[in-house]
Amino acid sequence: MSKGSEQAQSWWTRTKERLQNTYRLVIMNDETFQEVAYYRLTLLNVYIMLSTLIVLTAVLVTISIAYTPLKRYIPGYVGGGSNDSELYKLYQEVQDLEKELAAQRTYSESFRKMLVQDVQTVDEVPPAKDFLQDSSMVEVGKLEEDQQLRQEVEITEIGAIAKNTRTTNLSRATFRWNKCIFHRL
């Protein structure tokens, strides 16, 4: 046990010494070999400097995404509802533009036909179907079974109103009676 702990402790002391060893970074002019600048560095200083730069970069990216419109470009971002209204407005605008484009095409085609003299005259247009001749518009008489069913429903509704008037006030019963009469019409 003591040998393993001594090795771990010696490794830690060696690492601390290695991190605190001083190195010299010299920047020289390549043509004149003159020293422009020099820096005394340790591995610990370099590690702290790089860690600080990484953290600052992460903070700046996070702030720029959180407080600018850049967040809209992130896939999966849900913009609190404002995107829905914007998308709806854009969809409506696209629909309006499509209608306008269709009207413009129709106008251009009609104008082209007029210039080429390929126009339909009133005599060439087929007559429209008359609505009264349409079989779906023919009035159907009332059936006897339908009349009986309506009378049965009316009687049951009146009976239900009569039972409820005993337990409720008169104004409600009058309202239900009027509702029943109007429903029958």
3-state SS, 69-133, equals HHHHHCCCCCCCCHHHHHHHHHHHHHHHHHHHHHHHHHHHHHHHHHHHCCCCCCCCCCCCCCHHH
- Residues 22 and 40 sit within 8 Å (Cβ to Cβ): yes
Buried b (16+ CB within 10 A) or exposed e, 90-113: eeeeeeeeeeeeeeeeeeeeeeee
Segments making up each domain of the chain, as ranges: 2-73, 83-120, 144-184
3-state helix, strand, coil in the chain (%, to 5): 70, 10, 20
Cα atoms in the Cβ-side hemisphere of radius 13 Å centred on 128:
4
Q: What is the mean pLDDT of residues 123-151?
A: 72
Q: What are phi and psi of 134, to 5 degrees?
A: -70, 130
The pLDDT tens digits for 62-115 are 999 989 888 878 877 776 556 677 888 999 999 999 999 999 999 999 888 888
The pLDDT tens digits for 100-123 are 999 999 999 988 888 888 777 777
Residue with tokens 């079974």: 145
15 against 165, higher pLDDT: 15
Mean pLDDT (the chain, rounded): 80
